[in-house]
Structure formats: C-alpha cells, structure tokens
A and B are shown apart, each in its own frame.
Chain A
Amino acid sequence: MSKEVPVEGRGYQICINCVMDTSDDNIKFDDNGVCDHCHDFENNVKPHWHTDDSGRKALNQIIERIKVEGKGKEFDCILGLSGGVDSSYMLHLAVKEFGLHPLVFHVDGGWNSELAVHNINVLIDKLGVELYTEVINWEEMRDFQLAFFKSGVPHLDIPQDHAFIATLYNFADKYKIKYILNGGNLSTECVQYPMQWFYYGTDMVHNNDIKRKFGTIKMGTYPTSSIFRHKIYLKYFKGIRRVTPLNYVPYVKGDALSFLEKEYGWKAYPQKHFESRFTKFYEGYWLPERFGYDTRRVQFSSLILTGQMTREEAIERLKAPAYDPETIADEFNYIATKLDITPEELRQYFNMPKKFYWDYKNQQNVFRIGAKVLNLIGVEKVKKREQ
C-alpha cells in the first residue's frame, strides 16, 4: 500500500484535487487543501498547452523546419525508443503522420524486459525503419548501479537515465542531427517528480562523487554527458533542438495504448517505465517501500489533472502495492543476482539509513541558476526534473 509519509512537524496531508501528498517534502497546500502542483498546472502549464488547431499549426511549422533542414540527409531527426508507450506512439506519429525520417535508437542497459524487446521489434518491423542500439557495458553499468545502492540515495535510476541522455546527444552530434524528438508529454507527466525523489541525472559532480566513493571499476565505455555539454554547447553552439510533439496533439494514454495494440501488436506494460526490469523493481518496490515515494502518485495526479483518471480511481489503485506480492521475492533475488551480490546484501542496502542528494557533492546551485536564467529569457519553463 502507498505509505502515508508525514512531513516532520506537519503531519500527513493529501491534496483534495489530485493525489500528491506529503511524501513530496516540498509540497504546499492552499487553504482549501489544493496543492501547488495543481496550481502550477492551472496557472503556468494549461494556458500555454495547445492541442487543438493552433497546437497542430505550431507543430506543422516545426515539422516543416525539420524536413527542410534535413533535406538530403539520411536522417532529419532522432528518436530514442525505449519500448514504452510514449516513445512508441511518437515513433508512429513521426513516421506515419509527420512523414519524417528519424534515426531510431535504443539504449540497452542490461535490463530490457521481454515486453520491451517485443514492442521495439514489432514497431521496427511494421514501420520499416532501421534501428541503432547502444549496448552499455554491463560490468560498468552494474558497478555504477551498485554504487548508487551503496550510497543510500533514492535516485537509483540515474545510471540508466544518464546513459540514455548521453547516448542521445552522442548520436545527434555524430550524425549531425539537429532535432531531437522527445516523448515527454504534459498529458501524462504534467506533475513533476519531486527533486528529493529524482535528482538531476546529468549532475556529473554528483555522479562522480558517488562513483568515487562506492564504485569499484573504472568506467571505460559508459557514455557521459554533462549538463553544460548538452544544454549549452550542443544546443547553442551546435544548434540541436528538442521537440516534444506529443504536447501539440491530443494525447490520451488509453487511446494510444489501444491504437498501438491494434495497429502493431504492441503489448502494454503493467505500469509506466516498466519496460526496464530494473525500473519496475525500483519504482514498484524500492522507492515506495524504502522511502515511501510512490511514483504512481505523480503519474495518477497528472492523469487526474488532464481528465484521464478520476481521483477516486487513483485512491483505489493506490491502496494496492505497486509491486506484485506474488513475484516480488523472485524479482528481489533476480536484482541481487544481476548485481552480483547476495539477497542479504541487497536487503542491507534496503535497510540502511536514508541518504539524499545533498549528502553528496552536487551542482544543484548551478542547475537552479541555469534554470532561472533560461526561464527568465523565456526559453524554458522551470523544470524540477531533468528530462
């Protein structure tokens, strides 16, 4: 069951509009009990979010630009395919509706579920696109992931996330591609994950500190990319742009799922991000049970705000654990086996005192200032979580 995590001195409180609660340390409620996530959505996000004709018009202009700039090249844009619903649906749109020629790549961090592999396969086959993969050296990934477990912090998925971002920008740079198609979408992600749960994946000072303290092998091939490299250098000096097409069209998750199933024989996952076995364990079990952070709370709140789920349904679903009690023992053992440790050792990390990003070196200030600057010059909305 989703734990009720009280904030020190505050007691437990849950938003009366969505289902975010005090497991988000920084949550604020107004006098009516509505949280700042909801206000942020209503005031800052919704007014600028157009999925009607004006949205489509803006998107068409972007598509045209992509095509023009990509003329004569093998690829006009790049798309990372995880096998999840967002990137899968976006690939469909890019090829079938927008007529683009994306370089499609997949990052294999050693945790692919059979579902993910199946879904990527059917899409590649049916859409007739070519695929690139980046296979992260497993020994390095394993050591990096284990270092994060040993550090005691919540953000254990940084090794996978960072590898993805770095690979994306490496490919874009290598093949001189100017446009990145990103599957991020307000429809299912308008509520941001609290910083305390998911810290920035590209804070290399932070990553390196953890690696130095707890890693045991040298990372020879693991791809890295600092925030300076891809937010500033690649963007402003090389002109690489990130586009989120799913924000310009009506994107209803249920419809997208049905469509993909019918059209491509695509198969749905039990929960968002479960295309990776690690993420399934991490978000389904580790985060909620060790820290009381249930990512479903964030995901359902987004769906509530965008009218795809009722609060009652969310509350009901949050009553059951995010993991499957029948298979969790087995999954736990599998994670330990993969990490090359005993289940007992993994359990030790589960029970160790909790640490957070501020317990290790970090460049959070740089990120904060950077975000403010970009926000001030109107380039970007302030984002709590690096996409």
Chain B
Amino acid sequence: MLYPRIIPCLLVHNKGLVKTTKFKDPKYVGDPINAVKIFNEKEVDELIVVDIDATTKGIMPDYKMIENLAKECRMPLCYGGGIKTVEQAQRIFSLGVEKIAISSAAIENPSIVAAIAERVGNQSVVVVLDVKKKSLSGKYELYTHNGTKATGLDPIFHAIQMQKMGAGEIVINSIDQDGVMKGFDLNLINKIREIISIPLTVLGGAGSLENIGTIVQRYGIIGVAAGSLFVFKGKYRAVLINYPTANEKAALLRQYFLNNSE
C-alpha cells in the first residue's frame, strides 16, 4: 500500500544550514553534507534542500554543493533555489537530483514550468508557494525572494495555473507558521487541496509527530515536510537531527493513516 511521504526540509544560507522563524532570524544548524548523510542513513522518504540566498542575491545555484549532496542521497532529492532556466534545471538533474523546485521563477515566467517538464517529465518539476496571511483581510498572498517581496498574487489562482502549466507537485509553505512549531495552517492547506489534483506537499508549522499525524489523517496521501521538527530537540532548540524510526513511522501511520481514508 502507498504511504504518505514524510520529508525533511533543509535551508542553505551562506553555505551552511539554517533554520528560520517566519522566514527570519536564521539560526545556524551546521554543515549540509553531514546533515544530508545522516538523513540518508535514517532512510527518510525524500529530502528537500532549498538555497534561500540564490534568488535574493541573484546568484547561480551552487552546483558543487548540489553534486555533493546528491551523492549522499539514496532517496529522492528535491533541490530549489535560484533556478531560472531550463539549462540550469537540466544541469542539476544531471548531478543526480530527482526533482527541482522553483518559486519566483514560476511567478515571473510561468511557461518555464512547461519548458522544464517537457524535457524531463512533469514529475520532476515542483512549484513552491511561499504564502503569508494579509494582516487585515486574513486572505493569503504569495511572496517571493525568501519572503521579502509581496507579489499581490492569490496562491489559489497561482496553484491552478501551475497545475495547468504541467507542474508535477505543489509545495505549500506557510511563512506565518515557519519555525513556530505549533501545527500546520489547515485552513490554507484545505484551500489548495480543494482545487488541485496533482500531488501536494505541506510545509511550515510541524512541531510534533502528532501534527504530522493530523495532516495524514485529514488528507491521506500527501507529502508532509518539516524543518525545525527534524533538526531541533527540546525546549532549548538544541540542534540534533532526528526523524521517526521505521517502527515510529509504522506506529504513526497505523494510528493516523491506515484507519482512515479520504
């Protein structure tokens, strides 16, 4: 039987791993290569690595780092950050990466999704939506450039457009819940889930395995990604890589997934 995917998400900033809170105040987490190696040894379902500098600084993806990370992954790796052209995407695939994630590029030039998908197949193109709630209206808005640029765009509309363009997967990332570890924004997830039929992965807010369980219980087959939950430990946010063991995962799925269907 197919199981939902539980996916650690790592952020790279100045060559090192960091963890943010609401996309701000990056806390240093350590060396990316060793972290990826440990996640690989823990046999995680998939891994997402995002370079949060590349787009804001207008720099190229760090191909050497990507190559080194891909070498350590015996599970699908999704890389995002600074990808603007089909050639960049192809080069990254050739380094051993399964999926590429684009965010601002898809907003600036939606046809790039179709262009990349044509070369390598839709399944390899992931579109990330960084979303924040507007303070007054409570409506959601798309942001780019690491949460610094408000686009004025509606994420629902954008998600539908991306699906039409041939995206293989949507990652919905809640800026407000990022690093807060108090649970996912279910309202936001509902809205997106309603209108798309391609695979969805949710990110932002996971504070416990129960939070993951809630998502899986409500949505069944879905990707659940987390950053803080898998790199921090305890109330002092000690940096310690962790991920449910095979037994813990089985227990989680038994409790939240196997007894439910959508």
Indicate if A touches B (C-beta under 8 A): yes
A-side residues, CB < 8 A to B, are: 105-106, 108, 110-114, 117-118, 120-121, 124, 130-133, 135, 137-139, 142, 277, 334, 337-338
Contact with A along B221-262 (1 / 0, CB 8 A): 000000000000111101111100000000000000000000
Q: Closest A-chain residue to B41, C-beta based?
A: A114
Most chain A Cβ neighbours within 10 Å, of B15, B41, B241? B241
Counting from the closest, the 7 A-B pairs by CB-CB distance are: A114-B41, A138-B31, A131-B238, A133-B238, A110-B31, A133-B239, A135-B30
Contact with A along B23-55 (1 / 0, CB 8 A): 000001111011001100110000000000000
Partner of B30, one of A131, A132, A138, A334: A138
For the complex formed, measure the closest distance between the CB of A125 and the CB atoms of chain B, giving whole angstroms: 9
CA A108 – CA B231 in complex, angstroms? Answer: 12
B151 interface hit (Cβ, 8 Å): no
Are the C-beta atoms of A139 and B15 separated by less than 8 Å? Answer: yes
CA A136 – CA B37 in complex, angstroms? Answer: 18
For the complex formed, measure the closest distance between the CB of A122 and the CB atoms of chain B, giving whole angstroms: 9
Are the C-beta atoms of A112 and B38 separated by less than 8 Å? Answer: yes
CA A142 – CA B31 in complex, angstroms? Answer: 10
Are the C-beta atoms of B29 and A135 separated by less than 8 Å? Answer: yes
B-side residues, CB < 8 A to A, are: 15-16, 28-31, 33-34, 37-38, 41-42, 68, 71, 233-236, 238-242
Are the C-beta atoms of A106 and B16 separated by less than 8 Å? Answer: no
CA A337 – CA B70 in complex, angstroms? Answer: 13
Q: Closest A-chain residue to B27, C-beta based?
A: A135
CA A277 – CA B33 in complex, angstroms? Answer: 12
Pairs across A and B, CB under 8 Å, 9 listed: A106-B238, A108-B239, A112-B34, A113-B38, A124-B233, A131-B238, A138-B30, A139-B16, A338-B33
Are the C-beta atoms of A137 and B28 separated by less than 8 Å? Answer: yes
Contacts of A130 in B (CB 8 A): 234-236, 238
Contacts of A121 in B (CB 8 A): 233, 240, 242
For the complex formed, measure the closest distance between the CB of B104 and the CB atoms of chain A, giving whole angstroms: 27
Contacts of B38 in A (CB 8 A): 112-114, 117
Most chain B Cβ neighbours within 10 Å, of A131, A137, A277, A337? A131
* Count: A-B pairs, CB below 8 Å: 66
For the complex formed, measure the closest distance between the CB of A108 and the CB atoms of chain B, giving whole angstroms: 6
CA A121 – CA B42 in complex, angstroms? Answer: 13
For the complex formed, measure the closest distance between the CB of A263 and the CB atoms of chain B, giving whole angstroms: 17
Contacts of B71 in A (CB 8 A): 337
Contacts of B31 in A (CB 8 A): 110, 138, 142, 338
Are the C-beta atoms of B34 and A338 separated by less than 8 Å? Answer: yes
For the complex formed, measure the closest distance between the CB of A322 and the CB atoms of chain B, giving whole angstroms: 21
Contacts of A277 in B (CB 8 A): 34
Contacts of B41 in A (CB 8 A): 114
For the complex formed, measure the closest distance between the CB of A264 and the CB atoms of chain B, giving whole angstroms: 13
Partner of B238, one of A112, A132, A137, A337: A132
CA A139 – CA B30 in complex, angstroms? Answer: 9
Most chain B Cβ neighbours within 10 Å, of A108, A120, A132, A139? A108
Contacts of A142 in B (CB 8 A): 31
Are the C-beta atoms of B236 and A131 separated by less than 8 Å? Answer: yes
Partner of B240, one of A111, A120, A137, A334: A120
Contacts of A131 in B (CB 8 A): 233-234, 236, 238, 240
Contacts of B68 in A (CB 8 A): 337
For the complex formed, measure the closest distance between the CB of A329 and the CB atoms of chain B, giving whole angstroms: 14
For the complex formed, measure the closest distance between the CB of A340 and the CB atoms of chain B, giving whole angstroms: 9
Are the C-beta atoms of B16 and A117 separated by less than 8 Å? Answer: no
Excluding A110-B31, A135-B239, A334-B37, 10 further A-B contacts by CB distance (< 8 Å) are A117-B240, A118-B42, A124-B233, A124-B234, A131-B238, A135-B29, A137-B16, A138-B16, A142-B31, A337-B68
Partner of B33, one of A113, A139, A337: A337
Contacts of B235 in A (CB 8 A): 130
CA A338 – CA B28 in complex, angstroms? Answer: 18
For the complex formed, measure the closest distance between the CB of B252 and the CB atoms of chain A, giving whole angstroms: 15
Are the C-beta atoms of B236 and A132 separated by less than 8 Å? Answer: yes
Contacts of A132 in B (CB 8 A): 236, 238
CA A120 – CA B236 in complex, angstroms? Answer: 15
Partner of B34, one of A105, A110, A120, A139: A110
For the complex formed, measure the closest distance between the CB of A113 and the CB atoms of chain B, giving whole angstroms: 8
Most chain B Cβ neighbours within 10 Å, of A106, A111, A112, A142? A112
Are the C-beta atoms of A114 and B42 separated by less than 8 Å? Answer: yes
Are the C-beta atoms of A108 and B30 separated by less than 8 Å? Answer: yes
Most chain B Cβ neighbours within 10 Å, of A106, A121, A133, A337? A133
Whether A111 contacts B34 in the complex (CB less than 8 A), given A135-B29, A135-B239, comes out as yes
Are the C-beta atoms of B33 and A117 separated by less than 8 Å? Answer: no
CA A108 – CA B241 in complex, angstroms? Answer: 11
CA A106 – CA B239 in complex, angstroms? Answer: 9
Are the C-beta atoms of B28 and A135 separated by less than 8 Å? Answer: yes
Are the C-beta atoms of A117 and B242 separated by less than 8 Å? Answer: yes
Q: Closest B-chain residue to A111, C-beta based?
A: B34
Contacts of B16 in A (CB 8 A): 137-139
Q: Closest A-chain residue to B40, C-beta based?
A: A114
Q: Closest A-chain residue to B245, C-beta based?
A: A118
Are the C-beta atoms of B241 and A117 separated by less than 8 Å? Answer: yes
CA A117 – CA B34 in complex, angstroms? Answer: 12
For the complex formed, measure the closest distance between the CB of A282 and the CB atoms of chain B, giving whole angstroms: 15
For the complex formed, measure the closest distance between the CB of B18 and the CB atoms of chain A, giving whole angstroms: 10
CA A117 – CA B33 in complex, angstroms? Answer: 15
Contacts of A337 in B (CB 8 A): 33, 68, 71
CA A338 – CA B241 in complex, angstroms? Answer: 18
CA A142 – CA B37 in complex, angstroms? Answer: 17
Contacts of B28 in A (CB 8 A): 135, 137
CA A45 – CA B30 in complex, angstroms? Answer: 41
CA A137 – CA B28 in complex, angstroms? Answer: 8
